Chains A and B, each alone.
Chain A
Amino acid sequence: MRKKEVVAMLLAGGQGKRLKGLTRTLAKPAVFFGGTYRIIDFPLSNCTHSGIDTVGVLTQYEPLVLHSYIGVGSDWDLDRLDGGVFVLPPHEKENGNNWYRGTADAIYRNLHFLDQYDPEHVLILSGDHIYKMDYSRMLHYHKEKEADCTISVINVTIQEAQRFGILNADDDLKIYDFEEKPEQPKSTLASMGIYLFKWEVLRRYLLESASDSESSHDFGKDIIPLLLQHGRSLYAYPFAGYWKDVGTIQSLWESNMDLLVQDPPLDLNDPFWRIYTRSPNQPAQYITQRAILKNSIVNEGCMVDGEVRHSVLFYGVEVGEGSVITDSVIMPNVKIGRNVRIHRAIVNENIVIEDNAFIGPEDSSDEIILFDQESQLHARI
C-alpha cells in the first residue's frame, strides 16, 4: 500500500441521545439534514473536495443504516483502488474485549488500519457537524507551523463557550491551555472537534493512554491535555465559515432553518463544493394549483397541495389540501393528510399524519416538537 500523506478518521459511533427518537434506530451521523442530506455527507464530501482519498469511519451505535448508506463510498467518490472509505466497527481480538471506550480508544483500536498506510498526518473528524471546510488548507497551516497537533477552532459567544472545549492560545495561535466545557471560560475559541495530528506523535500517545487505567480515552479529556502537559506544539486553526453542532432537536432545527434565510451562510448550491449524498432517485416535485410555497426548500418526490412556509421538506413528502406547514422540518416520505397544521416541529421519516391533526408546541413556549412513532402512539391513546 502506498504511503499516504494524510488519512482521515471519522468518529461516527455516537448515539446522539439528545436527538431522542431521531436516533432510536440509527447513529447520529446518519440523521437527516437539509432536505436531502445526512449529517455524515458533510465531512465525507469535505474529505473528497480536500483531496483526502482514504477515510476510516468508526461506527458503534446502531450501525446498519450507516453502513449500508456508505456502501463502497461511490457517492462521495471514495471507491478508490488505493484507499477509499473503510467502515471500521469495533471488533474482537485474540485478547478479547472490543467496544470503543472513547474517541481516542476508537483510533487506538484501529492502529493496524492506520499503520498500513503509514500516514504523515491523521485527521480526526466527527460525524455530527454541519459545515464545509477545506481540510487541505488546515494541513498546509499544520505543516507550516510544524505542529504536533492542530485543532480547528471557531469563535463562539461567551455564553456558548461553556458547552465546548475551549482553547487558550497566544498571539501566534499556539495553544497553552485547554479546558473541556469550562464554567468560567477564559476565551471564546471553541474546538470544532477537528484534530490534525502528526501520526508518529499521536501513535505514541494513543499507546500510552491505552495502558492508563485512569484515562477515559478521550481526545478532549485526555490526549490533548497530555500533549500540552508534555510541552508539545499545539496550534489553533481558526475557521470562519458556517459550522453547527446538531446535537439536539433544537440545534438540528435551527441549522435547517439557517438554510432558509436569503443568501444562507451555508451555500448548498456551490458547484465547486457539492455536498454529495446517496440519491433517493425520485421524480420531480409536483406542485398543484392550490399550493403555496414560501421561504422553503423542497426535495424531489414531494407532492404539495397545501401551504408550506419557512420549512424544509425531504423527498417523498406529501402535503394534502388545506394543510399548513410553518417553521418545520419534514423528514423523508412523511404523508400529511388534509387540513393538518404543523408548526415548529420536526416530523420523523415515514410517518402518516391523519387529516385535521395539529402538531406543534401546545403552549406558546419556543420549544421544538419532535413528532415520531412514539408521539404518534400517544396521540392515538
Chain B
Amino acid sequence: MSRLIGVINLDHELDQLKELTYFRCGAAVPFASRYRLIDFTLSNMMHAGVHDIALFIRRKYRSLLDHLGEGRPWDLDRRRGGLFILPPDWNDPTDASRGDLQHVHNNLDFFHRSSGQTLVHAGTQHVNKVDIEDVYRYHREKNADVTLVYKPIDQLESEHAPCARLEIDENGRVTGIHQEQDHHNIYLEMFVMDKGLYLDQVKHCIAHQDNHFFRDAIQKNPSGLRIYAYRYEGYHAVINSIESYYKNSMKLLDQQQYQALFQNQPVHTKIKYEAPTRYTHSAEVDHSLVANGCTIGGKVENSILFRGVQVEEGARVSNSIIMQKCVIRKGAVVENVVLDKDVQLSPDRTLIGDIRVPYVIAKNSVI
C-alpha cells in the first residue's frame, strides 16, 4: 500500500530516562528484552505497507543510526523510497521556520518526491500495535482532514500526565484537545493526514511564526480542520521516565501483556547472530523474559534479560532489567535495578534499588 508515507518525529521527545538517555535519544532506548523503542513504530508502519519513511532527528542519534542502518530489518532498504534519516543540517539564512516545522520545511523534497498522498505521523514514546491501515480506512470513511489515534485509559498513571487528551463527540469528531489530568482519552501522538493539506498547514504555521506543528495547527486548529479520533484498544505503554520505563517493562512479565505486544504480527529489530540461551545445571529461572545469547547459571526471577547477558552460578537477579552483554559474577545480588549495556558486577556485590524507582547503572560501568 504505497499510498501512505511515514514521518517519525523525535523532536518533542525529551530524553528523560536518566542514565539511559545520557548518550542516546529516547527512540534508541532498549526495551522488551531485545528491541529499541523505535522498532515498534517502524514495525507498525512496515505492517501497513509504509515503505517511504522520513525520520526527523535532532540530537544524540549515534546509537539510533547504528541500530537503523539502511533499514533492512523493516524492509526499508528500497530502490524507491525507503528510510530517510534526516538530521538537522540547515544553512539557509533566510529560513524563517522554527521548532519541528524546520524539519518539514527543510526536507520538502522528501514530501514532493514520494508518491504517497497520505501521511502517517508518529513518535516513539507510545509503544503500541496500532493497525495503521485500519486508521487510514477510518480516516477515508470519515472524510476527515486529520485523524488522531487515542486510547481510553482506565487507570491513569504518572506517565500519562504530559499526554494530550481528546474530547470526542458521538460521531468521533474531536471537539477539544487539552491536558486535563483526569481525562481518559490519551492521544498516542499518531495522526493521519493528507500530504497536501499537511504541507499547506506547515506553510501556514511558518507564516505565523509558530514552532510546534501539533499544537499550532491541530490543537489550536485555526483553520477549522475536520479532526476525527480513532479509538485503539490494544497494547499501549507510555515511556517517558525511568519509572514508566521500569513499570511498563515489568508489566510485560504478565503473560497477557506479553501476548498483546507480540501476538499476531511480529516486531522487527536489528538482526544479531547470537546463539540460543544456555541454562546450566544450576540455573533457576522463573517469571522472566530472556533474549538469546545469555548464559544463566544463577537465579533469575521477575526480570528481563537482554541479549548476551551472563549470570554466573550463585548470583541472583530479581525484579531487574539487565541490558545487553552485562555480566553478573558469582555471589552478586541485583534487585530492582536497571543495568545499561556492558555493565559488569563483580563477585559478591549487592545492588538493591527501590521497587518504584529502580537504581539505574550507566553503560559500561564496572562495579
Contacts and interface: CB of A to CB of B under 8 A. Distances in A.
Given A283-B34, A288-B255, A35 B287 contact: no
Nearest to B253: A286
A281 B279 CA distance: 21
Nearest to B325: A271
Interface residues of B, number: 38
A332 to B, nearest CB: 11
B287 A288 contact: yes
B275 A35 contact: yes
A209 interface: no
Contact of B289 (A35, A269, A284): A284
Contacts of B290: 284-285, 287, 298
Most buried by B among A36, A285, A287, A313: A287
Interface string B69-88: 00011000000000000000
Interface string B274-302: 11111111010111111111010000000
B268 interface: yes
Given A275-B273, A283-B32, A286-B258, A296 B286 contact: no
A257 to B, nearest CB: 13
B262 A299 contact: no
B289 A34 contact: no
B258 A295 contact: no
Contact of A294 (B276, B279, B291, B304): B279
Most chain B beta-carbon neighbours within 10 Å: one of A269, A279, A283, A308: A283
B279 A295 contact: yes
A266 to B, nearest CB: 10
A346 to B, nearest CB: 16
Interface string A285-321: 1111111011111111000000010001110000000
A291 B262 contact: no
A83 to B, nearest CB: 20
A105 to B, nearest CB: 35
Contacts of A74: 72
A291 B285 CA distance: 7
A283 B286 contact: no
Contact of A269 (B34, B275, B288): B275
Nearest to A264: B278
B271 interface: yes
A277 B293 CA distance: 14
A297 B293 CA distance: 10
A289 B284 CA distance: 10
B273 A286 contact: no
B270 to A, nearest CB: 10
Nearest to A35: B276
A312 B292 CA distance: 13
B-side interface mostly:
loop
A290 B34 contact: no
Contacts of B258: 283, 286
A291 B295 CA distance: 17
A290 B286 contact: yes
Contact of B277 (A34, A275, A298): A298
A284 B271 contact: no
A251 interface: no
A274 interface: yes
A64 interface: no
A294 B283 contact: yes
B271 A279 contact: yes
B118 to A, nearest CB: 28
A287 B273 contact: no
Contacts of A296: 278-279
A275 B262 contact: no
A74 B305 CA distance: 28
B262 A283 contact: yes
Chain A interface SS verdict (over half): loop
A311 B274 CA distance: 18
Contact of A34 (B262, B276, B283, B286): B276
Contacts of B292: 36, 299-300
A284 B273 contact: no
B287 A277 contact: no
Given A284-B33, A288-B287, A298 B266 contact: no
B267 A287 contact: no
Nearest to B308: A269
B255 A298 contact: no
B362 to A, nearest CB: 22
Interface in B195-231: none
Contacts of B291: 284-285, 300
Contacts of A293: 279, 283, 285
A286 B277 CA distance: 12
A36 B275 CA distance: 7
Contacts of B285: 287, 291, 293
A281 B268 contact: yes
Contacts of A286: 255, 258, 289
A285 B279 contact: no
A295 B277 CA distance: 11
Contacts of A308: 279
A188 B313 CA distance: 40
Contacts of B280: 262, 294-295
Nearest to A284: B33
A276 interface: yes
A282 interface: yes
A158 interface: no
A295 B281 CA distance: 5
A284 B291 CA distance: 5
A320 to B, nearest CB: 13
Nearest to A74: B72
Interface in B10-47: 32-34
A2 B288 CA distance: 52
Most chain A CB neighbours (cut-off 10 Å) among B33, B258, B274: B274
Contact of B273 (A276, A281, A294): A276
Nearest to A310: B281
Contacts of B283: 293-294
B32 A299 contact: no
Given A279-B271, A286-B255, 19 more contacts: A35-B276, A36-B276, A262-B280, A269-B274, A269-B275, A269-B308, A275-B275, A281-B266, A283-B266, A284-B33, A284-B304, A284-B305, A289-B287, A290-B286, A295-B279, A296-B279, A298-B277, A298-B279, A300-B34
5 contacts: A269-B275, A296-B278, A299-B292, A300-B276, A300-B292
The 8 closest A-B pairs by CB, nearest first: A284-B33, A35-B276, A268-B275, A299-B276, A283-B262, A293-B279, A284-B289, A274-B273
